[in-house]
Structure 1
Amino acid sequence: MQRKKLRRRFIAGSTSTALIISLLAACTGGEGGSVKMDNGKQNPGEEGMLQISTMFPLYTEVPDMNNAYWTEVKKRSNTNLDILWVPNANYASKLELMLASGDIPEVVNGPAVNPTPTFYKAIQNGMFWDLTPLLGDFSEYPNLKKLKEKFDISKVDGKIYGLPRLRSETQASIHMRKDLLDELGIPSPTTLDEFKNAMKAIIKAKPGTIGLTMHGVLSGNAPFAAAFGVYDTSYDKDGGFIRDILTPQFADMVEWFRGLYADGLLPREFSTMKETQAEDLFASGRAIAYSRIINRDWQYTETNRKTNPKAFVRSVELKGPKGYAIKLDPGFAAPLYISSKVPVEKVKRMLKYFDSTATKEYLFLGEYGVQGIHHTLNADGLPIMTTQGFKEINIGSYHPFVLTTDNGFKVRNPNAPPEFNKETEKLVADWDKKGVINPFERYNSPTFNDIWPKFQSEYDTKIVQAVIGDITINEFKTYQEQLRNKPEMKKAFQEYTKAEKEVKANMGK
């Protein structure tokens, strides 16, 4: 093997200052090809207000779509967004049901950066528009044209179906209770071994505390996977690009989690826990560490302070046997897909709307809202959120926007003090060089999409069994090898190799 380094609907380091000031400047001056704004408002289009029905995952309380923020979005974009908000924990299953019935909104937020097998089938069956001919050379969409590389990465079978929503590459992190480390005089860990030993020491001093909280089939393992080389490109003897979860490196990571479980550092019932349950263990002060998004350091600091006023959460930079525990994102979140039932003329208007949101102005709006309502400016010209801003601006505020490239996005927290954000950005200043991207967020295999649902349930069970000790690691590795040697899996690996070459060859074209 080779390896290289707008109806309210609901179903149950220095970059901080520079970037924010840049965004503020952009909001007043605009940029080439962006929507012109007059006092934060867009002139109504000649065709009247655009109506878009769409669906997004919900991470907070259901927003009031008539509040000041969403009213401003409506005015600026001349667009009425009829959003179906679905709790994030239920979003994937809700989307599966909608795809099966064929009853989907006009715009769908995809389930992942790369289409899941079910979503891929929906694309193949013509459920969504092939946007390639409509976008053409992007000459009519100047802001989207600047994001051409992201469109190349997100293509499905060589065609553009989704509109990537821009995010920073640096996102995922391992949050840790730094105040507990300081209280016991434990240095901040820099390796996975130190991380493990630090949790042991804290639990010894504070019995009943949980170490690393996780849920399901090791959800939240991305940074740890990077540390074990799971995202390094690995090929079989025929040159097939082995899927990340089937590599020996993945088994090494499972073995490490097996050790954590044996030492009592994982929740005993982690495999049956939901995401909200796992997060609550950390947010409420009952766990030492949790893996999520770095800009939540401040959020978790605040929630932990409800039970411990001295609580302080900081992400840690850890090194593992094959690299740093830093998993980079491809630079965009799950794309937006337009239903093929939407008439072509309306699709063109939608593309104009999304092009208008691919700007610094909309990035600033999504993070900080409207000056004087959602934020004020301090002496350094940096936004400070108001009470109304805290209430109305959240992660869902920028869901319907494409946005633009900004390395500080998803690193800074609009609700945090500017000094806290500066420290955060200093911490991650070189993560883009130390981290790795999961290549399978860029490459697609029709065969893998077709066959993996047949194996996934059993494979997930094997992972959990290996972690809790019901089977040996060698038994897990043998099972992996059996899957890798299946003819249909080898075919999938060859398709991944082909996809890798095609994406690299087409970059920038």
Structure 2
Amino acid sequence: MNTTTHLRKASRVADVPVERRSFLGMVAAGAAVVGVPALLTGCGSSDAPQGGEAAAVKLEDAIPSYIPQEYVEPDFPSVNGSTPGFASLPDALVQSVSSPPGSGATFVAMTPLWGTIPPTKGNKYYEAVNEALGSTVQFQIADGNTYGDKLATVLASSKDVPDWVCVPNWNLPPRFASEIVGNVFQDLTPFLAGDKVKDYPNLANIPSDVWKFCVFNGRLYGLPMPGEVLTDATFYRQDVLEQLGISPDVKNGEDLIALALELTDTGSGRWGAEDLWTTAAIIHAVPPKWRLDGDKLVHRIETEEYRAALAWNAKLFASGAVHPDAIAGQEGDAKQRFQSGKSLIMADGLGSWNEALRDNLGANPTFWQQPFAPFAGDGGTPVLFKGNPANIYSFLKKSDDEGRIKELLALANVLAGPFGTTEFDLVNYGVEGVHYTKDADGLPVPTDLAATEVQPTYMFLVGGPIANAKVQYPGYVEAASAWQADAAQYLTDPLFFGRQIAEPQQYASIGQPFQDLEKDISRGRKSLDDLEDAVQTWKSSGGDELRAFYQDILDKE
């Protein structure tokens, strides 16, 4: 699942046999997993300037110090930001917060949910977590599909803003950075920046790259729900290729097209690939948005890499190896075609890997999809741009009561308990014997009550560092960790990485024509000559002004 789109409900655990125990292997029934696109007063802290908004600081000075805590040693350690892998359940969990830090107060929190809203009264899950907090978090849960509308309505009236508000990146309203965040929400810089975070060890355990995305206007406002910096890959059906006796030896873009052609057998209803535009952009190192050529700011659509990616994808389509439904633009069915074997290569988010195993191993125990090892289109050294490791944040309502803010941060410190802690176990899965039991292999199995009570709510407020221990899918943790460790050596920060930049509204739609153009050039309906005209139109329609906007940001850094 890609977190820049939406969240999906996870299946029940213990859906396939397991050989080793897993802590993250349990997903309580109905729990969601992430995988997964308008007011100026001073801060109440004595460290902040009074009578106006606090002055912006450098990004590195606004974020908390990174002080890692390792309660369980990973079997597959993180490499350059890759997700650590845990192959087994810890023999004993660690309580990372010695006693409930709350004062007995009640705080209202607003979160989205892509699922059935649980009861708030008599909910044993909420009762247990709130007991561990020492205060009560009372949830206002809204439908995730319409959460953006609800959020906009709430933020339009500062008096109705709850104490704690989840804001997914794709639901950031217009003028959030310029007018909302500093007027409605608490500046956390005086409480968490640098070594001040030491008062909250679990928050200090969150990597710096994650915190960067919680900074707005040079001040720290958000609390993150951490994700992964490696977000996408190109998968192939390894099980089918093995049955066909075909080796996926891909070293460059031409190799991939040749493999897709070799796998295509129209007579048997099998095609080599889906639309691989995402792959094309990755293997040709197309920057996510901007890059610097010397001292010149260049947009992705102006780069030779973008042109090369378009040419490569057009060649793939012209080869006849792309499934006809993909040619027709039926992108929503791509997963079904890939998982059923009608197509054998597709680009997808890394979260789709374990989801595909979840959905297919029961009916097809040999099912396996595997990502290609990173390669460059020309056979050279790959370049992988980091993805956003935080796409969901939460914010605390602005208050002059410093004690209130510190209490909320202490609650956040409990909720951010990482893998291997009692806090993580409780927040994510509920109470043993009430919401889950353990089977003969030590794998927790959800009870019927879990489906009603244990829905993702606290996790949308803040979380610990992401970890992979989904060993209910045999071989997955090892394979995913190995792939990520290899890919991580090629990671690089895109320009403006970690900068929350709100573009002026007048430029919001000038890039839209390129999404259609990418499809048209790939399918042969237009040519690269049309790209040149589109770039010129983009420049005259505001592209050059947008470049000046970003250049001004660079000049001020």
Mapped contact 2:224–2:393 kept (Cα < 8 A)? yes
Aligned 1:64-79 pairs, distance under 5 A: 72-77=128-133, 78-79=135-136
Residue number among 60, 77, 94 corresponding to 1:28 in the alignment: 94
Which letter maps to 1:336?
A: S
Shift, 1:282, TM fit: 3.8
Q: Which residue of 1 aligns with 2:489?
A: 433
- TM-score computed with the length of structure 1 as normaliser: 0.72
Which letter maps to 1:159?
A: R
Residue number among 236, 260, 263 corresponding to 1:202 in the alignment: 263
Deviations 1:296-341 (A, max 9, x none): 4233134234664532222222412365375543543432234559
Q: Which of the two has greater helix per residue? A: 1
Aligned 1:161-310 pairs, distance under 5 A: 161-191=221-251, 192-204=253-265, 207-209=268-270, 211-213=272-274, 221=278, 224-231=280-287, 234-236=291-293, 239-244=295-300, 247-262=303-318, 263=320, 265=322, 268=325, 277-283=333-339, 285-305=341-361, 308-310=364-366
**Aligned residue-pair number:** 463
Shift, 1:29, TM fit: 4.7
Shift, 1:295, TM fit: 4.9
CA distance in 1, matches of 2:552, 2:92: 43
- Secondary structure, in 3 states, of the residue corresponding to 1:324? coil
- The answer to whether 1:489 aligns with 2:546 is yes
Mapped contact 1:203–1:209 kept (Cα < 8 A)? yes
Mapped contact 2:237–2:345 kept (Cα < 8 A)? yes
CA distance in 2, matches of 1:122, 1:414: 45
Q: Give the share of equivalent positions with the same residue, in percent.
A: 18
* Higher alpha-carbon Rg: 2
Shift, 1:163, TM fit: 1.4
Residues 1:343 and 1:315: Cα distance change in structure 2 (over 3 Å): farther
- Secondary structure, in 3 states, of the residue corresponding to 2:218? coil
- The answer to whether 1:473 aligns with 2:473 is no
Mapped contact 1:172–1:294 kept (Cα < 8 A)? yes
Shift, 1:187, TM fit: 1.0
Residues 1:251 and 1:365: Cα distance change in structure 2 (over 3 Å): farther
- The answer to whether 1:55 aligns with 2:111 is yes
Q: Which residue of 1 aligns with 2:462?
A: 402
Residue number among 335, 343, 355 corresponding to 2:393 in the alignment: 335
Residues 1:327 and 1:234: Cα distance change in structure 2 (over 3 Å): closer
CA distance in 1, matches of 2:87, 2:369: 27
- Secondary structure, in 3 states, of the residue corresponding to 2:217? coil
Shift, 1:354, TM fit: 1.4
Which letter maps to 2:256?
A: F
Residues 1:125 and 1:333: Cα distance change in structure 2 (over 3 Å): closer
- The answer to whether 1:82 aligns with 2:139 is yes
Which letter maps to 1:201?
A: E
CA distance in 1, matches of 2:284, 2:292: 16
Residues 1:188 and 1:487: Cα distance change in structure 2 (over 3 Å): closer
Residue number among 355, 358, 363 corresponding to 2:413 in the alignment: 355
- Secondary structure, in 3 states, of the residue corresponding to 2:225? strand
Shift, 1:159, TM fit: 1.2
CA distance in 2, matches of 1:173, 1:62: 33
Deviations 1:20-54 (A, max 9, x none): 48984783253xxxx22xxxxx6473334x33322
Mapped contact 1:328–1:432 kept (Cα < 8 A)? no
Residues 1:107 and 1:45: Cα distance change in structure 2 (over 3 Å): closer
Mapped contact 1:112–1:333 kept (Cα < 8 A)? yes
RCO higher in structure (CA 8 A, sep ≥6): 2
Shift, 1:479, TM fit: 2.2
Shift, 1:457, TM fit: 2.9
Deviations 1:97-141 (A, max 9, x none): 766788765544434399686644554673443332454633543
- The answer to whether 1:386 aligns with 2:445 is yes
- Secondary structure, in 3 states, of the residue corresponding to 1:110? strand
Residues 1:118 and 1:307: Cα distance change in structure 2 (over 3 Å): farther
Which letter maps to 2:94?
A: T
Residues 1:298 and 1:81: Cα distance change in structure 2 (over 3 Å): same
CA distance in 1, matches of 2:448, 2:488: 30
Mapped contact 1:211–1:289 kept (Cα < 8 A)? yes
Shift, 1:455, TM fit: 0.9
Aligned 1:34-45 pairs, distance under 5 A: 35-36=97-98, 43=100, 45=102
Structure 1: 5+ residue stretches without partners: 1-7, 37-41, 503-509
- Secondary structure, in 3 states, of the residue corresponding to 1:386? strand
- The answer to whether 1:138 aligns with 2:194 is no
Shift, 1:158, TM fit: 0.8
Q: Which residue of 1 aligns with 2:515?
A: 460
Mapped contact 2:87–2:471 kept (Cα < 8 A)? no
Mapped contact 1:234–1:247 kept (Cα < 8 A)? no
